[in-house]
Chains A and B, each alone.
Chain A
């Protein structure tokens, strides 16, 4: 049948203009563009997903260590000689705990080292001890094993976040010390140690002298019940190697350790580029291997207020502050927002005022949040003289900010109720108000609730306006009321992110996780509400 086709078409060109070779070639090019375009779009979506994964994974991996805290169990002497039960408030509990720690390391004698050692436990130890004794006076009168939180750097080290420490490896030759403490010489049975030190960044000097500065990895030799840090090595007579070292933990004896009896521990991160010294590492490792260090669920983080010390800082104050603030926001924004939506959607005549209100609400929804903060500062704090840093003011500012969101969502959901419902109610003689409150509003309620929850979630994550009204103040106490000074979770995150201590980085991430958890819960409720109750008319 194909032979019946006329071979010339409309404009005097062959009909096969769409099927000839040139057309096929053009088509191929067009499809190439098509594929490109499609992949560009897919790439954009993938990129957005990648960003999300990157962001969340960064935060989650940083937050996980903060969920646990290491505790050091020390035998603490609470006998009457140390703690007078009649004068519990006058006791220096910190000193008692520090003495217990010092007693654990009797070799540490120099002032500098004692101070370093004291730094291993948290500065909040005394406070915890006082509180626990007050709660349980039965602890008094003898020595008790008491777990104290370790300092933030010690904690980070124990979590493996401050330094890379290799496992102990047996030294396959004999090691002979010259003394048991102080600066000593070690003699190794062969010179394998020299090559190892070279590979670990030792500085090469004259006569094959190798110096291990703080820029090189730390080499620790563990034997005879003690630990020696090597500072320099050089070739000894007849294939041996000699090292100079500092004893960190005293040796039991100067007896030579046989091959396989001494162990080498390498701390890969040079001492100069980590925030914890070799000595602290050795002490912590000793305590850990003695089973005195225990990693527990970090209840301090979840159930206490803010602190300048990372290991003592908690989010509970901020959570309570956020909660109080949200109550105020909800109490103001929900009734006013829904009322305004009802008026505008059901009652308002179509006049200039209504149009102005509508335009105004749309614009208000797009005003930068920080401007609401300025409003709060100028009007609530300075004009009305309300208290700074208080949840009530924060809640009012956030309520004004959330109001447009709630109004817009509520109006949309009122509009979705079909007019037939209104007509039916009006038709049996209900007043306009009865129609709205008995029939329309209940049907629109799920949508209104969904919009409100989403608006509240938005308010919960808001930070900038609250900085303006002083909620950024450093507040240790858990707020107990709407006018108490408080801070809120996002502001707490902002403040912690600014603190230089490494320990706060994990706390910040963990606080973010908590904030995100609340947001997820709120959004999930909104989604469920929408699924359960949404009607399509």
Chain B
């Protein structure tokens, strides 16, 4: 157990879940500009961790570090250490493809591929070679869609284009697409920001259900959403991690003045 773990145990007082991912002194530079300052944050297994904070505070940047999506940005430079099950994900020995298979991602704007619903979900298992037969692939697609709570809505039109679905359905399709790869961690970057309230509620429900099997990190703009879906919350401001702790404590009795101000709507 690390110090953070011990501290966590003390503060929550219950049998804390083990730590799945861990960031130590994570800093990110975009060219000359520094976007993240020495962030230490743990992600606990089978819990939802919410990252909150005003725009441009670095929460999405941190999220994208967890599965090295920042690699796709030429000017981004990451320092510090991030581990997945104790392995440094920025270790040159670690393969980024394998990492992303284990740490899936759902994006802000639903981005289904311009393919059929079936093909969207089957894409991940196909490229990773997870299914040995057509029937096994069918099984993965069906169970993923079911877990994403989408199966009943689309079961009759699996071969229609994924871009034809409504926004909320598209986002759940993207979640199903991520689940189909059997990741261990799912990262969600403001998954509901482009959705209407009803679709948002549906996705939030889904996130809560998914917690049984996956570790989830979610970036959100909405404090209510963080309060509703997460067990733990981390507050970012201007690239610094301000405060981190159990969600109920954060929303009732935060340690930091800035957190207090933010959740009460004084800024952000």
Contact = CB atoms under 8 A, between A and B. Distances in A.
Given A5-B85, A11-B143, A30 B97 contact: yes
Given A2-B85, A18-B182, A30-B127, A23 B98 contact: yes
B234 to A, nearest CB: 20
B236 interface: no
Nearest to B213: A10
B40 to A, nearest CB: 16
A15 interface: yes
Nearest to A19: B98
Interface in B18-55: 18-20, 45
Interface string B139-162: 010010001000000000000000
B128 interface: yes
Given A1-B85, A30-B97, A10 B179 contact: yes
A352 interface: no
Contact of B130 (A15, A17, A19, A30): A17
A9 interface: yes
B11 to A, nearest CB: 19
A146 to B, nearest CB: 69
A10 B98 CA distance: 17
Contacts of B179: 10
Interface size classification for chain B: 20 to 34
A19 B102 contact: yes
B214 A10 contact: yes
B129 A5 contact: no
A4 interface: yes
Given A4-B45, A9-B182, A18 B213 contact: no
Contacts of A4: 18, 45
Contacts of A19: 98, 102
Nearest to B212: A10
A4 B184 CA distance: 13
A536 interface: no
A19 B181 CA distance: 13
B95 interface: yes
A28 B206 CA distance: 35
Nearest to A9: B182
Contacts of A18: 98, 101-102, 128, 181-182
Contacts of B98: 18-19, 23, 27
A10 B147 contact: yes
A26 interface: yes
Nearest to A34: B97
Nearest to B102: A18
B86 interface: yes
B102 A26 contact: no
A17 B182 contact: yes
B190 to A, nearest CB: 24
A27 B182 contact: no
Interface size classification for chain A: 10 to 19
A243 B86 CA distance: 94
Given A27-B97, A30-B127, A2 B182 contact: no
Nearest to B1: A1
A350 interface: no
B184 to A, nearest CB: 6
Nearest to B140: A11
Given A10-B147, A10-B213, A15 B184 contact: yes
Interface in B83-121: 85-86, 95, 97-98, 101-102
Nearest to B139: A11
Contact of B86 (A1, A15, A17, A30): A1
Contact of B18 (A5, A15, A23): A5
A531 interface: no
A490 to B, nearest CB: 43
A30 B127 CA distance: 8
A2 B86 contact: yes
A13 interface: yes
A1 B182 contact: no
Nearest to B184: A15
Contact of A27 (B18, B95, B102, B214): B95
Contacts of B102: 18-19
Contacts of B86: 1-2
Contacts of A13: 182
A5 B97 CA distance: 21
A1 B127 CA distance: 30
A17 B18 CA distance: 21
Interface string A9-49: 11101010111000100110010000000000000000000
A471 B143 CA distance: 74
A10 B182 contact: yes
Contacts of B181: 18
B123 to A, nearest CB: 14
Contacts of B184: 9, 15
A6 B182 CA distance: 14
A375 B181 CA distance: 62
Interface string B173-185: 0000001011010
Contacts of A23: 98, 128-129
Contacts of B182: 9-11, 13, 15, 17-18
Interface string A129-159: 0000000000000000000000000000000
A2 B85 CA distance: 5
A10 B140 CA distance: 10
Interface string B1-19: 0000000000000000011
A19 B86 CA distance: 14
Nearest to B22: A1
Contacts of B129: 23, 26
Nearest to B143: A11
A2 B147 CA distance: 27
A102 B89 CA distance: 90
Contacts of B214: 10
A19 to B, nearest CB: 7
A26 B184 CA distance: 19
Nearest to A6: B45
Nearest to A8: B213
Nearest to A25: B129
**Which of A4, A10, A13, A15 lies at the interface centre, i.e. has the most chain B CB atoms within 10 A of its CB?**
A10
Nearest to A18: B101
A17 B128 CA distance: 10
A138 B218 CA distance: 99
A23 B179 CA distance: 17
B214 to A, nearest CB: 7
A352 B119 CA distance: 42
A148 to B, nearest CB: 65
A6 B45 CA distance: 9
Contacts of A11: 140, 143, 182
Interchain residue pairs A-B with the least CB separation, the first 4: A4-B18, A18-B101, A26-B129, A10-B213
Given A17-B130, A17-B182, A18-B128, 5 more contacts: A1-B18, A1-B19, A4-B45, A23-B98, A26-B129
8 contacts: A1-B86, A2-B86, A5-B20, A9-B213, A10-B179, A13-B182, A15-B184, A18-B182
